[in-house]
Structure 1
Amino acid sequence: MASLKRLIIDALKSLSRGRSFLQALLALWISPKSDPTKVKQTRKFQRAREEFLKEANELLLGPIGSNRFLRDEHSLIVPYNSDTNPNPDDPLLLLSKLLKEQFRQGLQNNPACMLPSYNHQLPGGHERGQHLAADIGGSTLRVGLVDLRGRETTDDDGNTIVHMDNYTIDKNVRLLAGADFFKWMAWKIETSVKKAIDAGHISRDGYESGDPMPMGLAWSFPLEQTSPNGGNICPMGKSFLACDGLVGQDLGATCNKVLQELKVKVEVVSIVNDSNATLLSSAYFNPSTRFGLILGTGVNIAAHLPVNLIGKSKFGNRPDSWYEQASHVMVNTELGMFGRDILPLTRWDKILKAGHERPDFQPLEHAVSGYYLGEVFRIALLEAIKTTGVLGGEVPPLMLEAYSMDTETMSLMVDGLHSGGKANQVFSQLYQLASDIPSNEDMRFMQQLAGYIAQRSASIVAASLFALWELKNEAEQNLVDELEPESPFSEETVVELQIERTTVGYTGSVLTYFPEYKETLQSYLDHVMLSAGHVLKDRRIELVPAKESSLIGAAVSLAGVMDEKERMRLDEKRTT
């Protein structure tokens, strides 16, 4: 009883170091240093490893039916379909239906998500020329000169980007408040332009004596878009203070004001969300693209959806001419905000949630994105060390620190037995373990546990994509049924319904680098399509990579705006 009292007192003391009570209590309970009498008890180990893994399988995958799939010993996890008949009671399909209803509600009136852009047309692949583009991400500002050469001359070697510079957005930059952040951004843009001039990619005389150089901007944060080059700044999150004092003000106007004040001869002419940029980039090369998926540190999906799905209030003040031209619009879903009260939570998810400063802000992101996958793995592994004797029953001190297990390390565990000992070595060095730890048995255990967590992530992303695909198709069918045959949107919508293979352009570290993740996600998409009664040879959702998507997408958007301006100029000239 005395030792339990001491444990609780120590846990309460640790609150001053920023942990939640549950995190602190869990860490002290599991740590072999917390109570010597507990160490002796854990040497007996209450559970067999196989029993722990069986429960982990049920907790993580059982509620969505994924534990019925077989694992291939040579890859991450490969879903196995023994039955290709429709199954309306499939748990993953049922989860997708629940997500679809949340998406439908968000499209009607939620101001924080399902944000329609100003872009209503996807690129035709004819857009050409060199265009300056910038991508503001959570950790990096990238500035590049993009050479668009047309869909028919796609360069697979990545030479589409003529010049590019990367600038780290560290803690000091994130803490730049208001206009100070945009001044930092303007200085970096000017630096990149001057480098491109020195390299001969931009004419010095043309830049110095001509009009400001047009630039497309990919903005990785929520934005209430009001025009092709403007939108109301929203709270940014991720510790950024750039929005301080600027929430509700126009992003394009703010950028251009700072650029002018600092005499940087660049003008923001086009703005897109980074997920929309991924959609645009993929659609430029693949005309069947209707979704853009980002899955790295965070998660998001952009979707090209019928306007009739979206509540009028979501569009803000737009001219009647916009509605006369738009049957569809690109939507930034802010996917991570969904899933509340419908995603099954394990006890490890609940510990993560209890220690989070905004536990209900992004429920789906907590379950699928790279920032959180490693943390769920760490919490579950701590329990396994104490109860099963993994890693000799000794908890490495570093592993007691929240978020000390990143997803890159977790991915090594998944591929550990096939990496020639690299995973063992990296893990041992990171957590300062003895030379014989982790053993091959430890690696197999961690591989299986990490695989379950990754598999759950892939299945939830698949359910989300399918829900959006169904929403799109249902709304288009309703539109065809309601429109008159002579309506300008009727033929366009019928063409949309006839797309057999809908492409999802993807980018992000989890999809790109996590072993077999992309293949697992594709398998789940095929599975849920079959469960819903779609024959794969007729309809399929297909993942394709979108390389350098943010910069290329921003350039494609800029090219479209410039083409439209040129058309308007020529029309005005003909009229006069």
Structure 2
Amino acid sequence: MQPFIAAMLKVRQAFYAAIIRSLLRTKSVLQTILNIWIAPSIIKNKNVDQNGDIGGGKKKMYAEFITNVETAFGESREKSRLVALSDGLRAQFGESLLDNPMNMLPSYNHQLPTGDECGTYLALDVGGSTFRVALIELSGRGCVGQETTILKIDSYKILGAVRQLKGVLFFDWMAERISQTLSGQDEGHDMSSAPLSMGMSWSFPIEQTSLRSGLLLGMGKGFLAAHGLLGKDLGDIIQDSCSRKGLNVQLNAIVNDSSATLLSKAYLDQTTRFALIVGTGLNAAVHLPVHMFSPPKFGVRPDSWHDAAKHVIVNTELSMFGAGILPETKWDERLRASHPMPDFQPMEYFVSGGYLGEIVRLVLVDGIQTAGFFGGIVPPSLREQYSLDTETISHIESDQSTSLSSARKIFLSRHPTSYPPTQEDMQAIRLIASHITYRASGILAAGTHALWQLRNEAESIPADESSHTLVAYNGSVLENYPGFRATCQEQLDALVEATGAKRGVVELMYAEESSLLGAAVAVACSSG
């Protein structure tokens, strides 16, 4: 009996081995099994033919899904909807001018530069990952092409160890870096001469109490600099650290990034009245008459400020607007559903570089799971939130070749998968990204148009009598994302025309080195 059982086992093993060899020779069968197992929607739609390939059925599903994406995001292309969005945003701006403590915040900068300011200034730019120090010479608009000169500039990485510096230790670190930049510059060390006037662009929250001071608030992003210093005057803290280092400098202005951008371009062109920051985040500044604000919006300010201020540069905190009126899709709802602060910055979730890639990821994963993109297999990395960044999709959109080989190479280097994307898959990603970013540029155009109309109404300027106005901008999305600035300008032109003004009357213009130049200009204005 035992020999018989052993013989039967050998026959069974040989039979199984033959099946496995056959399957290995027929890779398409294995692939089909994997696809069916991972994407049961393919069974439901009966898109697998007898050879294991996905043919006409797949193309139909692709086309239907892309059509749904076009429909969902295409509504924002309609001029009438953009006009309605602009009107809705303008109403929200108006309400916030009266009683919202979180946005439409009047700064202490009430003067725009004349363009005649001259002098040498020290400018600081404190960001989340970099501290920059520059010595800047302002020569005035009369020196065409040489209005501003960066005499010296240094950039210092703010690494983890620096973020961990507590309290004054962080500001002492800043003073040490300032000393390094000024090394060899007599203006920085000669204690017998007048102090070198200094301005700072500060990218963290403060409760500003004057042009050169503000109460320090929690910085976030892993910084411990506010430890033991919460509520202390930021200007005094920095001044004290510089004095301990023996630096003959004097901090005379603190500005945020949007105000700095507006000031930097206004120094070069007197028609500048707005500024946009569109990078990882979103913000805007606008120059408005003070009569538009309710008195509580100004807090406690000296009578001398109110006597001098007829207009004021406003930090709009644009990211916070748009609740209830933005063109939301089911994918936007999914993004907000998993966000720790789903209602905090509605417009930022639609427009900024911190979220554009995530919206594309959500749409793409949906297409993989329901329409068979990528053979129905979600690349492991794309299962993680925010794993598809805006830089990656910008590379994909910039590849205009038919094969999309460059885009495919970049995508696979960052998101390897067992089912490499086909040319059709890459075309789908590019189409999805283009619809999402076009919508973003339209929303940004509507927000800019709303601010322009708000100012026109405040100044009693009819639309058809509007003069040419510049909107200074910077930030990685407007600067680098392929076609973004152009499509934003195109939609802004359409909105301006719909209002009755001439096409091109509101123009987006790049503001180079705006944080540093704006800090220097703020000081020059204060001492003029």
TM-score, normalized by length of structure 1?
Answer: 0.78
Q: In 2 relative to 1, CA 98–247 (structure 1 residues): closer, same or farther, beyond 3 Å?
A: farther
**Aligned with residue 328 of structure 1, among 308, 311, 318:** 311
Q: Which residue of 2 aligns with 1:123?
A: 113
Q: Which residue of 1 aligns with 2:483?
A: 516
Q: In 2 relative to 1, CA 169–418 (structure 1 residues): closer, same or farther, beyond 3 Å?
A: farther
Matched, 1:404 2:387: yes
Q: Does the 8 Å contact 1:305/1:330 carry over to 2?
A: yes
Q: Which runs of 5+ in 2 are unaligned?
A: 1-31, 48-56
Query: How much has 1:316 moved relative to structure 2?
Result: 1.9
Q: Which residue of 2 aligns with 1:363?
A: 346
Q: Which runs of 5+ in 1 are unaligned?
A: 1-31, 69-80, 82-89, 478-493, 564-576
Query: How much has 1:390 moved relative to structure 2?
Result: 2.1
CA distances 1:365-395 after superposition (whole Å, capped 9, x unpaired): 1110011111111111111122222233322
Matched, 1:423 2:407: yes
Matched, 1:167 2:153: no
Q: Which residue of 2 aligns with 1:28?
A: none
Q: Does the 8 Å contact 2:187/2:248 carry over to 1?
A: no
Which is higher, the Rg of structure 1 or of structure 2? 2
**Aligned with residue 135 of structure 1, among 125, 130, 152:** 125
Q: In 2 relative to 1, CA 334–176 (structure 1 residues): closer, same or farther, beyond 3 Å?
A: farther
Q: Does the 8 Å contact 1:476/1:497 carry over to 2?
A: no
Q: Does the 8 Å contact 2:478/2:485 carry over to 1?
A: yes
Q: Distance in 1 between matches of 2:104 and 2:317?
A: 6
Matched, 1:188 2:177: yes
Q: Distance in 2 between matches of 1:112 and 1:211?
A: 39
Q: Does the 8 Å contact 2:258/2:315 carry over to 1?
A: yes
Query: How much has 1:154 moved relative to structure 2?
Result: 4.0
CA distances 1:316-343 after superposition (whole Å, capped 9, x unpaired): 2222232222211001111111122222
CA distances 1:7-31 after superposition (whole Å, capped 9, x unpaired): xxxxxxxxxxxxxxxxxxxxxxxxx
Q: Does the 8 Å contact 2:465/2:501 carry over to 1?
A: no
Q: 1:59 corresponds to which letter in structure 2?
A: A
CA distances 1:230-288 after superposition (whole Å, capped 9, x unpaired): 12334444454444454443221222123234444433111111110000011111110
Matched, 1:312 2:295: yes
Matched, 1:551 2:522: no
Q: 1:392 corresponds to which letter in structure 2?
A: G
Q: Does the 8 Å contact 1:417/1:440 carry over to 2?
A: no
Q: 1:543 corresponds to which letter in structure 2?
A: L
CA distances 1:383-408 after superposition (whole Å, capped 9, x unpaired): 11222222333222112222111111
Q: Which residue of 1 aligns with 2:37?
A: 37
Q: Distance in 2 between matches of 1:150 and 1:267?
A: 22
Q: Secondary structure at the match of 1:123?
A: coil
Q: Distance in 2 between matches of 1:159 and 1:474?
A: 34
Q: Does the 8 Å contact 1:42/1:386 carry over to 2?
A: no
Q: Does the 8 Å contact 1:416/1:443 carry over to 2?
A: no
Q: In 2 relative to 1, CA 213–446 (structure 1 residues): closer, same or farther, beyond 3 Å?
A: same
Does 550-559 or 350-359 show the bigger shift? Answer: 350-359
Q: Secondary structure at the match of 1:221?
A: coil
Q: In 2 relative to 1, CA 222–205 (structure 1 residues): closer, same or farther, beyond 3 Å?
A: closer
Q: Map 1:91-102 onto structure 2 (within 5 A).
A: 91-102=81-92
Q: Map 1:238-317 onto structure 2 (within 5 A).
A: 238-317=221-300
Q: Map 1:216-231 onto structure 2 (within 5 A).
A: 216-231=199-214
Q: Distance in 1 between matches of 2:154 and 2:306?
A: 38
Q: 1:143 corresponds to which letter in structure 2?
A: V
Matched, 1:57 2:70: yes
Q: Secondary structure at the match of 2:280?
A: coil
Query: How much has 1:512 moved relative to structure 2?
Result: 0.7
Matched, 1:387 2:400: no
Q: Does the 8 Å contact 1:217/1:270 carry over to 2?
A: yes
**Aligned with residue 452 of structure 2, among 461, 465, 469:** 469
Q: Which residue of 2 aligns with 1:529?
A: 496
Q: In 2 relative to 1, CA 42–212 (structure 1 residues): closer, same or farther, beyond 3 Å?
A: farther
Q: Secondary structure at the match of 2:459?
A: helix
Q: Distance in 2 between matches of 1:336 and 1:284?
A: 26
Q: In 2 relative to 1, CA 232–205 (structure 1 residues): closer, same or farther, beyond 3 Å?
A: closer
Q: In 2 relative to 1, CA 178–114 (structure 1 residues): closer, same or farther, beyond 3 Å?
A: farther
Q: 2:104 corresponds to which letter in structure 1?
A: M
Query: How much has 1:439 moved relative to structure 2?
Result: 2.9
Query: How much has 1:177 moved relative to structure 2?
Result: 4.3
Q: In 2 relative to 1, CA 210–331 (structure 1 residues): closer, same or farther, beyond 3 Å?
A: same
Query: How much has 1:468 moved relative to structure 2?
Result: 1.0
Q: Distance in 1 between matches of 2:33 and 2:293?
A: 56
Query: How much has 1:36 moved relative to structure 2?
Result: 7.5
Q: Distance in 1 between matches of 2:161 and 2:66?
A: 42
Query: How much has 1:351 moved relative to structure 2?
Result: 2.1
Q: Does the 8 Å contact 2:365/2:378 carry over to 1?
A: yes
Query: How much has 1:497 moved relative to structure 2?
Result: 10
Q: Does the 8 Å contact 1:293/1:506 carry over to 2?
A: yes
Query: How much has 1:131 moved relative to structure 2?
Result: 1.3
Q: 1:508 corresponds to which letter in structure 2?
A: G
Q: Secondary structure at the match of 1:121?
A: coil
